[in-house]
Structure 1
Amino acid sequence: MRANCSSSSSCPANSSEEELPVGLEGHGNLKLVFTVVSAVMVGLVMFSFGCSVEIRKLWSHLRRPWGIAVGLLCQFGLMPLTAYLLAIIFSLKPIQAIAVLIMGCCPGGTVSNVLTFWVDGDMDLSISMTTCSTVAALGMMPLCLHLYTWSWKLMQNLTIPYQNIGITLVSLIVPVAFGICVNYRWPKQSKIILKIGAVAGGILLLVVAVTGMVLAKGWDLDITLLIISFIFPLVGHVTGFLLALLTHQSWQRCRTISVETGAQNIQLCITMLQLSFPAQHLVQLFNFALAYGLFQLLHGFLIIAAYQAYKRRLKNKQRRQRLDRTDIYYEKKPRETGVFLEGSDEAAVTLEPLEPVCHHRALEPIDHISSCE
């Protein structure tokens, strides 16, 4: 492991464009698109999502970080292990296996916060998990990579992009802090900002997906890596949900941890691949990272669609139950009123002849009162 390269010409990240193979210029455009879109998305979306964070709830997550601990266990326990098992099961080449492992060791990305909002997850927990996993990546990424690659004979050193992790961390904390302040000072306006940011985040995800598909047109990708890029995020979502369920987390937290586990920081993975591998290997490795990102969005959209359909069905069921209870109430009410009136009429009929008789006998002499009694 080593830090970021400087200006040395031998560093793969500083290779000139003439040394790049044919087709890699498209990856340069891809990196530019991902950088610009990610910067806009992180700045706008994280500020808007920060408007949904309440200081009291955020402090409760930090004071009793059970949900954050489960999320970190999924992020740096299950995902690297899943990557290692996939590399062994599919008998990947060393370079391909390392690329898959790097993807599994990356922290959660901003995409997870957008998806969490649309599945009604715990936004306080989601933002806390994204921030904590980014901080933990400074030590957990090199540790996980060392543990899982110590038996492999690597021809190159893996470079941890500490600078990019720091930039990602700042781009998370600063907008969220401003959003929390806005929510504290202007709670009504913060709800409007949250809705705008959620819609903008969804649109940006679609832009990233469409842009990635356009740029990926005609690129060659090993079928094995394509299958892994499809399976990997799905396994992350399922295992994250199951682990959260086994640790007795609430349904809302289970959804949040599931989304956070499967959604990785693609830009950070691409940066690390560029810093660690020579130019002749970057095309295929970039294709894998891009394919993972596209399938990550696809799985996210499917999860949102399934949850929204379930939510709509549940609301319709509850509405029907309320209508049924209302109909039963109005059906019972006339019958109860009728019975009450019938009983009153009978009582009135029974008491009518007695009242005048007693009244009439009360006018008779005193010696006849006992007979009335």
Structure 2
Amino acid sequence: MRANCSSSSACPANSSEEELPVGLEAHGNLELVFTVVSAVMMGLLMFSLGCSVEIRKLWLHIRRPWGIAVGLLCQFGLMPLIAYLLVICFSLKPVQAIAVLIMGCCPGGTISNIFTFWVDGDMDLSISMTTCSTVAALGMMPLCLYLYTLSWNLEQNLTIPYQNIGITLVCLTIPVAFGVCVNYRWPKQSKIILKIGAIVGGVLIVVVAVAGVVLAKGSSNLDTTLLTISFIFPLIGHVTGFLLALLTHQSWQRCRTISLETGAQNIQMCVTMLQLSFTARELVQMLSFPLAYGLFQLLDGFLIIAAYKMYKRRMKSKHRKKKPGCAEACHKKKSTSPKETSAFLEVNEEAAVTPGPSGPVELHMACEPTSHMSSCA
């Protein structure tokens, strides 16, 4: 498979002699408005999600970065490899193959932080992974693209959007840092901000989905092969990320987090890199793929959230049937001494970190008869 630039079509994407296709010209203003609005909303969202981050837990992830290391391995080890295998299996054209590979080499997107919050994941790990993968993209993106495109003998240079990566880092770290400070100094107010942030996240997802559909209409029709890849690619990323986290003995909470971080890619960065590296004629064949990937990425995220909520509700109802008197017993224990209450909180926190099927099962162990334990912990 080889991708060569013909002499009639200039390789630099910023060629002024070539006219833009009507489809790309039509939605240029809409794309600019969408970028500005999404950047402002993303900043507010990351500030609110930062209110859920505790400095102590964040420092633990930095001191022992096992979860972050597994996430980076998934992001820059599994995803580029999966993209390359999909390109080979479906025998894509060079232009289409490059679009799939660039998507696989992009860092994690901030949309995964919203999904992680809704599935009760590890927010400290999620934000740490998003930040670290964005920093690592400065070196890992060109390295992965160089290795996986060696066999194609590309004559044009792929332009890494370093400015876009820097802007993403600023928009990510500064709002999160403010959120962490608010959570540290005003923990009660941070809970209110976090609830508002969840609503903002839902609105942002709707805006992204609607804008993605409108922008996709402005591009050329996506063929069946690329549509299939854009559907299965994020799914494979979620599944393989979860399995690798499970094999490395991460907790269930971390497994959910790493799974969502692996399949959710930075769509805006992929689009920016395509626009910087290719001509307008080539973009017509390429831009539809990241837009379709983004839509299916949202769909997969909603399916994972719905499945988790159903499982959580089922486990709660199952636990209530087995232990009808547990809630009353735990309610009576609220009047116990402060030492017993702090013991309950400590044991419950340790149980939450321990790998297990779900929170209700841990609650089932915590609500044993009082004859065996001094408190309902």
Quickly name the TM-score band, shorter chain normalised: 0.7 to 0.9
Q: For residue 44 of structure 1, what is the aligned residue in structure 2?
A: 44
Tell me, what secondary structure is at the counterpart of 2:151? coil
Query: Quick check: 37-46 or 170-179, which moved more?
Result: 37-46
Q: Retained in 2: the 8 A contact 1:37–1:208?
A: no
| Aligned-partner Cα distance in 2 for 1:144–1:288 | 19
Q: CA deviation at 1:324?
A: 6.4
- Per the normalisation by structure 2, the TM-score is 0.81
User: What amino acid maps onto 1:150 in structure 2?
Assistant: L
Task: Tell me how far 1:222 sits from its aligned partner.
Answer: 1.6
- Judge conservation of contact 2:106–2:266 (CA < 8 Å) in 1: yes
1:183 aligned partner = 183
Distance 2:269 2:327 in 1: 56
Alignment match, 2:315: 314
1:117 — aligned with what?
A: 117
Whether the 8 Å contact between 1:50 and 1:179 is mirrored in structure 2 is: yes
Distance 1:121 1:305 in 2: 14
Q: Aligned runs of 1:1-373 on 2, under 5 Å? A: 11-13=12-14, 15=16, 19-29=19-29, 31-217=31-217, 219-323=220-324
Larger of the two Rg values belongs to structure: 1
Change (3 A) 1:325 1:304: closer
Residue deviations 1:300-344 (CA, integer Å, cap 9, x gap) = 0111111111111111112222226799xxxxxxxxxxxxxxxxx
Contact 2:109 2:264 (C-alpha < 8 Å) held by counterparts: yes
Q: Distance in 2 between matches of 1:91 and 1:109?
A: 27
Question: For residues 228 and 30 of structure 2, what CA distance do their matches in structure 1 show?
Answer: 22
Distance 1:325 1:127 in 2: 36
Check whether the contact 1:46–1:176 (CA below 8 A) recurs between aligned residues: yes
Distance 1:103 1:188 in 2: 40
| Partner secondary structure for residue 12 of structure 1 | coil
Q: C-alpha displacement at 1:171, in angstroms? A: 0.7
SS of the counterpart of 1:23? helix
Q: Give me the whole-angstrom Cα distance separating, in 1, the residues matched to 2:124 and 2:98.
A: 33
Q: CA separation in 1, counterparts of 2:297 and 2:146? A: 26
Q: CA deviation at 1:235?
A: 0.4
1:128 positional shift = 0.1
Query: SS in structure 2 opposite 1:52?
Result: coil
Whether the 8 Å CA contact 2:11–2:156 is kept in 1: the answer is no
Query: Is 2:122–2:253's contact at 8 Å kept on the other side of the alignment?
Result: yes
State the AA in 1 paired with 2:204. L
In structure 2, distance between residues paired with 1:14 and 1:55 = 48
Give the deviation of 1:11 after TM superposition: 4.2
Give the number of the structure whose residues are more often helix, by fraction: 1
Moved over 6 A (4+): 324-327
Q: Match of 1:266, as an amino acid?
A: I
Gaps of 5+ in 1: 1-8, 328-373
**Range with greater deviation from structure 2 (124-133 or 201-210):** 201-210
Structure 2, unaligned stretches of length 5 or more? 1-9, 329-377
Query: Which deviates further from its counterpart, 169-178 or 204-213?
Result: 204-213
Deviation at 1:155, TM superposition (A): 3.2
Letter of the 2:69 partner, please give it: A
Count of residues paired in the alignment: 318
Task: Please say if residues 71 and 257 of structure 1, whose CA atoms lie closer than 8 Å, have aligned partners that are also in contact.
Answer: yes
Map Cα deviations across residues 151-199 of structure 1 (whole Å, 9 max, x no partner).
Answer: 2121311000001100100111100000011001100000110111011
Residues in 2 aligned to 1:92 and 1:19: alpha-carbon distance in whole angstroms: 26
8 Å contact from structure 1 (residues 37, 204) kept in 2: no
